[in-house]
Structure 1
């Protein structure tokens, strides 16, 4: 059997930016399991990625063989809609600093991680990669989306100008161990898990969720995402970004029902229709990723059940 076309040097320094976050921590687990024995990570107190001079000094000192840009300021609909300037500015600073510094020392392999929110609000479903920049964005997270679109363009520009083999991946909605469960910044699934778990603990009869429950969402376990990232690093090399997901979606009401079952909630779910629904449907076309030889392996119901268990086991120490 022929070796993969971009077999990474597992003994060389590999830098995971954002290793403490949901995706970054999963990447560290996946890389360690794959035999990478010189993983480089830095906490924010050790390296502020918004501090340009510090990032350049770090990159010149480490000179990694590969970099994964998983660091980002993230949040749910409420946080994105309330603090758009913060989401735009901080994410641009982080990714520009990292990629400029990586280009200066000519890091041969870099993966920039974005988000499926880069696509137009009313993009044809399932969403193909060429839907980018074909229509207006969802207004509640357009600032974050613009930052991620800029990252894709920077990867493409570096490929053209410097000839480096950098790539971009755009995951769908992620969930799993290490997620953010705070009221202000959590995404859909961790928000639901916390809400239903607390309802069970408080013996409540009713849980109220935002919106109508009718929008459809695709969810991908973060360990699947990390697996896909490593696969792309070793099997993909093109300027265009790659969708990362399952290619399957469910209504938010269906997802809430799965969470209710996993938490043991036996009460009634109501919907606050005065709150925004966000994008009506968002499911990715994953044909390009599938063509490289990768597919997801974690069924949604199983993933939700294990994430609920993780939340309960770690409730005293996780971000709440």
Structure 2
């Protein structure tokens, strides 16, 4: 990767995009480009093409997406499908027209079947039914993967895709109506600790198992893949280990100093029973995560508390 090349990070203010920006900047990339959604609506095809014509990026990291937790995905499936497909098609088509050399498309582990064999291998894609609560978002991301593969087949460009597991860290969305499990728990437990609440109630049974990767590790993996991987298949990015939601609750409670009781509302959905990625492809290329769950949660709690004025909540 040429550190002096124009590199566009789509979604540079989001959880993943901001981490990729920080990592590339610290790795010597001198010409990073980003636009907030208020200045560039990637759902607007003409505006997206004009932006590419103006900036002429050599590399693109496509981290822009409409994202949310179970509640948001289940409530607004049309929005998640339509917005994400339009963003992806516009960016990838513009990148192709303007000769972008290298594209990294970022998806989500929800692309895999609900009951895929664990740990989930990359070749599990399109082998079974999706989790119904976020199938619309998953279909959009699958479309992005196939779009990248199609460009490779038709034009021979070295574009690639990466599928991260559950991500968390600085810059996350802590809005209880639209956040994922980790930031939702951090906010809920921090507020409970501050209020001295005797009980915190979480959705579901707490039995599902999930894998969590700190977003700074994800950013490091992105650069690693851009410099060391060139293949048609999407690459899983994760830690290769998982915990139950109950165990996660204990880690979060300890990080915020909550000492009350923890209860579970089993009338609410659990989602997929287990979602652990097979990361042998990534590890075989020479990359390993560096941030433990306990350390990552602790530093995320610190960031959450010190960024009350500018965090998403």
* TM-score (normalizing by structure 2): 0.99
2:291 pairs with 283, 287, 298, which one? 298
Tell me which residue corresponds to 1:34: 27
Is contact 1:9-1:65 (8 Å) kept? Answer: no
Compute the displacement of 1:316 (Å).
2.5
Compute the displacement of 1:317 (Å).
2.0
How do residues 188-207 of structure 1 correspond to structure 2 at under 5 angstroms?
188-207=181-200
Does residue 241 of the first structure (1) align with residue 234 of the second (2)?
yes
Q: Which runs of 4+ in 1 moved over 3 A?
A: none
Is contact 2:168-2:213 (8 Å) kept? Answer: yes
Tell me which residue corresponds to 2:210: 217
Is contact 2:58-2:99 (8 Å) kept? Answer: no
* TM-score (normalizing by structure 1): 0.97
For the aligned residues, what is the CA RMSD? 0.5
Tell me which residue corresponds to 1:168: 161
Tell me which residue corresponds to 1:14: 7
Tell me which residue corresponds to 1:3: none
Compute the displacement of 1:308 (Å).
0.6
How do residues 78-89 of structure 1 correspond to structure 2 at under 5 angstroms?
78-89=71-82
Tell me how far apart the structure 2 counterparts of residues 57 and 292 of structure 1 sit (CA, whole Å): 36
Does residue 278 of the first structure (1) align with residue 290 of the second (2)?
no
Tell me how far apart the structure 1 counterparts of residues 156 and 114 of structure 2 sit (CA, whole Å): 33
Is contact 2:7-2:59 (8 Å) kept? Answer: yes
Q: How many residues align?
A: 313
Tell me how far apart the structure 2 counterparts of residues 285 and 295 of structure 1 sit (CA, whole Å): 13
**Where does the alignment leave 5 or more consecutive residues of structure 2 unmatched?**
none
Tell me how far apart the structure 1 counterparts of residues 106 and 49 of structure 2 sit (CA, whole Å): 20
How do residues 98-137 of structure 1 correspond to structure 2 at under 5 angstroms?
98-137=91-130
- Determine helix, strand or coil for the equivalent of 1:165: coil
**Where does the alignment leave 5 or more consecutive residues of structure 1 unmatched?**
1-7
Is contact 1:17-1:70 (8 Å) kept? Answer: yes
Is contact 1:106-1:164 (8 Å) kept? Answer: no
1:140 pairs with 133, 138, 153, which one? 133
